[in-house]
Structures are given as C-alpha cells and as structure tokens.
Amino acid sequence: MKKIILLFSFLSVQLCIAQMEDAWIYLTDKENVTNAIANPLSILTQKSIDRKARHNVAIDEKDVPVNENYIMQLKNTVGITVLAKSKWFNCVYVRGSKENIDNLLTLGFVDSIDFADNSLDNGKIRPRKKNNNLSINNKFGVKTSFDYGSAARQIEQLNAEYLHELDFTGTGMTIAVMDSGFPGVDIIDGFKRARDEGRILNGYDFVRRDENEFDFSGSSHGTQTFSDIAGFIDGQFVGTAPNASYYLFVTEDVSTEGPKEESLWVEAAERADSLGVDVINTSLGYSIGFDNSAYEYTTADMDGQTTFISRGANIAFQKGMLLVSSAGNSGNSSWGIVTAPGDAPGVLTVGAVNSVGNYASFSSRGPTADNRIKPDVVAKGQNAAVIRSDNSVSTNSGTSFSSPIMAGAVTCLWQAFPSMTNAEIMQLVKESSTLYNNPTNFLGYGIPNFRTIVESLSVNDNLSENIRIYPNPVRNKLFVDIPTFKSYKIQIFTTEGKLVKTQILENTNTISLDYLSNGLYLVELSTETSRFTFKISKN
C-alpha cells in the first residue's frame, strides 16, 4: 500500500509538472515615459547615450523600463512565477498552469499573452508576429606587436593582426559576452591582465540572479569563448580584442533548455544597451532539443523574425550595437541550418572553418527560411585555440569559438573607424570576404580580410602618405597638412568613442583643442571616398 501511495504521489507531481506552461505576458503601458525620455540619465548610462548620439539612434519608449508595480502584481499572483522581463517588448516571461496564465488577462495592465507552447491556439493567445521593419543600410601610429602563440593561426587567418599592429586592440570599446558560465576568469592568469587593468566590468548571472558571474562552475563554456576575445598569456595566447573592456552575462541555464533562456538573453542585451556596450558576442543557439518539445521551433521559424531571441537581436541592432553570433553546430544533423539568433538580419552570423579555410562539417548552413545568406562569414572554429578554466591553453571545436574570434576583430575595426555605424561595419566585413561575389550556403561570404578593409578606407585615393598631423603630442593647436585641392571633414573622438569635435578643413589647416582635457584621442579625416584615422595625445 505504501508503494502505491508513493507511486500515486509521484504521478501526481509529474502530472502537475506536465501542466505547467511558459508564456510571455505583454503589458499595456509604461510609467513616466515622457519624463524618462526627457531625462535619459535616469534610464541609461552616459556611455549609452553617447553611443546612441554618435550613430543617430533615438532614445524612445523601448528604453524605458517595465513598470515594476505591474511586475510585483504578477509576482504576487497565486500560481505564477516571474522568470524574466523585457523593456524592449514591454513584457514579462512567466511560468504557471495554462488556467492561471489565462486568468492574467483579467488584469487591466495585461494586453495579451503569447504561450511558448507552439501547439496552443485560442483567441486569447497573442500570435507570433512577423516584423519586417528592420532595414540594414549598406554603405560604405604606434605599432603593437604580440606573440600570439597558439592563437596565431585564428588571428592571422583574418589578417586581424594588422589591426593590432596599428594599435587598434579594442581600447575604449566595450564587449558583452552572453554565455553559460565563466569559472576561473576571476582568478586564472589568462585574464589577469584584463583584471589588473579594471577592464572586466560588473557582470551578472541572470539565471541565478546573482552578481557573481564567476561563481557558477557547471559550465566553463563561457570561459573558453571569452578567452578568444580577451585572453592573454604572453607567448602562448592572445585574444582578438585584448585591450577592450568586458561585461560577462550568464544567460544560459545548463540544467534545462527552453525559451526562458531566450528571455534572459534579451534582458541581458537590454542591460548591455543601457550600459553603452558596443559589441555583443553570443555563442548560443536555439532551435530544437527543448525539455518541452512543444516549445521547439521548426526550420520554417528560422526567418529572423519569429523567435523571441531573434526579434530581440534585431532591436539590439536598431539600438546601435553590433551583434556577433555563432551559426550553430547542426551541420551534421537533420536540422542542418543556422539556429536563433543567428537567423536574424541584424546579426553578423559566423560559421566555422579549419586552419586552412575549409568548411568544418559541423558548422550550421544556410540559407534562412526566408532565403537569406547565412552564415554571413566564417572564421576558425575547428580546433580553435582557447584558454580553459584551469588556465591551460588547449583547443576546442564549434562555431562557439569562431564567433568570439570574429567579434574581437570586428571590435578592433570599429575602434579604428568610430564614426561608422554597426551596419556599415558589418557590410565592410562581408565585402572584404573571400566569397563576397559568390556566397555559398556553407561559408556565406567567406573569410573576411581586415587588412584590406583598413587599406580600402585609408588609401582609396593614394593620398594618405601626403597627410600629416602635427605636433603629436599636442597642447592647444593641431595642424593638418593636406592636399589643397581636397576638402576634408575632421572628427575627433575620445578613446571611448564619444565625438568631441567636428570641423570642415577647407581654408585652414588649424584645429583648436583648447577646451579638450588631456588624454588620448582618435582623429578621423574623411572625404567622399576615403577615411584616415590617427591617434593623438593632448598634454
């Protein structure tokens, strides 16, 4: 009899678990929207405001947080667990029985409900909407030397060492890494350089709601992906953006798999935007294999507009950030194609090749469900060099590693040309790639060449050798010797990318710097056909 009772109890628990559903609860409005937009420092950091201003990105209602009073009422509702929130979508991700979730529609501030279970369909459920409004515009010193060690091939394959030689190593740029865990990053020597210089900023574990993103040891995947950007062991290993600053966000729950993690990712992307992050790397992907198979996607959903994470990635792109994502490792499986958010048009999606540039068979292929080229580009992902959580330099394979290798290189390129938009940088990377004129479903546009990008922007009209900026270091006046028949636009940026001066050089070659504080600056000269970037020091 005892066994029967225990079995009945076990089955009852299983039945209750099976009846639990996940859903996005979309809200009607936000609080104090007009006042918040008029006072952006109340909702964004100055770095975020500066980045948006630099690229003409409007601060709007999406930047205003979700009404915390509404969230509290949902938390206090019997049978409802709040798991995540999104200001961009003005929604909250919850778990509860279908009946309890349906009853939320009686709350005056609930606009609609979108169940994660794709099989549910009734008049109360918000359908997934196609968002076709995303438009991507296609536009057009000191030497640094590293001993890359085991990382040499993956950097040199992209000609990214050329950026480093020009002293574009990520200084002043900020990268957010979304992953499953970063054990060892706070203690091992491979990240000591970044730690000692205060460039590993305040991260967050969104899964456990914990400010110690290093505390979780269930997965070292994030440690390895992060190393391909930031790792530094002199003579053994160097990441592609070793002098950038970094936020580490845990969004992947390795104990489960489902759309909750998509919501956590969007929440982290929103925080990254508010903190002024420039580039996001995502070595994660969502498609099938969810704990609840009813939540899984089909290949038809990989259109860049359906999954919650891909829609969030498109908004992140519109907010001015540059998103780099792994294509996925489904090349040898029945799924085959890229996974979300790699299907999003606002994401630079990276597939994998080996050391000689041949397709790695595990790398997810294209095209997307709506027949767009994906992956966009490729980098070394087969036997890529990484630093493990025990500080050993080793190798690992997957698009998880080709993505951060690319993300760091893209960050250094953007540092070199800070006035360019995320769309312009993405397009330049594609245009420099080996297969740009004949893309394939396996390699996309191919392997980028970061040296040719810099050269195409600097010597289009063969005038770069005739331009001289002096003195350097400078005190109050900067002089620019340029060909008299050219009109140049000059823009001066801080190393963090803030535009501090714009001037047209036509009848003068003198630039007053009286009001600038001492420090390093980037000076960018441009014509209709060329751009030239110089570093100066004001004393």
pLDDT tens digit sequence for 285-306: 999 999 999 999 999 999 999 9
Check residue 235 and give its pLDDT: 93
Task: Please say whether the beta carbons of 146 and 324 come within 8 A.
Answer: no
What are residue 84's DSSP bridge partners? 93
| Segment 110-127, tens digit of pLDDT | 999 999 988 765 444 554
| Segment 222-253, tens digit of pLDDT | 999 999 999 999 999 999 999 999 999 999 99
CA distances from 204 to 177, 181, 186, 208, 223 (A): 11, 10, 13, 9, 14
Check residue 139 and give its pLDDT: 32
Going by pLDDT thresholds of 50, 70 and 90, the confidence category of residue 261 is very high
pLDDT exceeds cutoff 90 at 369 = yes
| Segment 488-514, tens digit of pLDDT | 788 898 876 778 898 888 767 788 898
Which region among 323-332, 395-404, 529-538 has the lowest average model confidence (pLDDT)? 529-538
Which region among 102-111, 119-128, 168-177, 303-312 has the lowest average model confidence (pLDDT)? 119-128
Check residue 121 and give its pLDDT: 55
Task: Please say whether the beta carbons of 410 and 234 come within 8 A.
Answer: no
Q: Which residue has the higher pLDDT, 332 or 140?
A: 332
The two structure tokens encoding residue 205:
């574990």
Average pLDDT over residues 192-198: 97
Average pLDDT over residues 323-335: 97
Task: Please say whether the beta carbons of 260 and 93 come within 8 A.
Answer: yes
Q: Which residue has the higher pLDDT, 58 or 139?
A: 58
Question: Could you write out the DSSP letters of every residue in 192-230?
Answer: HHHHHTT-B---EETTTTBS-TTS--S--HHHHHHHHHH
- The pTM (predicted TM-score) of the whole model is 0.85
Check residue 133 and give its pLDDT: 42
Cα–Cα dist 312/323, whole Å? 11
| Segment 134-148, tens digit of pLDDT | 433 333 344 567 999
What is the percentage of the chain residues whose pLDDT exceeds 90? Answer: 71
Structural domains in the chain?
Answer: 20-115 (no CATH), 152-457 (3.40.50.200), 464-538 (2.60.40.3080)
Q: Which residue has the higher pLDDT, 97 or 476?
A: 97
Residues 6+ positions from 466 with CB-CB distance below 8 Å: 481, 482, 483
Check residue 465 and give its pLDDT: 55
Going by pLDDT thresholds of 50, 70 and 90, the confidence category of residue 364 is very high
Going by pLDDT thresholds of 50, 70 and 90, the confidence category of residue 472 is confident
Average pLDDT over residues 178-183: 94
Nearest to 199 by CA among 231, 160, 233: 231
CA distances from 231 to 339, 394, 404, 444 (A): 27, 12, 11, 28
Q: Which residue has the higher pLDDT, 479 or 28?
A: 28
Average pLDDT over residues 186-199: 97
Going by pLDDT thresholds of 50, 70 and 90, the confidence category of residue 58 is very high
Nearest to 354 by CA among 372, 331, 322, 387: 331
Question: Could you write out the DSSP letters of every residue in 172-192?
Answer: T-EEEEEES--TTTTTSGGGH
pLDDT exceeds cutoff 90 at 519 = no
pLDDT exceeds cutoff 80 at 7 = no
| Segment 214-229, tens digit of pLDDT | 766 568 999 999 999 9
Cα–Cα dist 146/200, whole Å? 21
Check residue 84 and give its pLDDT: 97
Cα–Cα dist 328/349, whole Å? 9
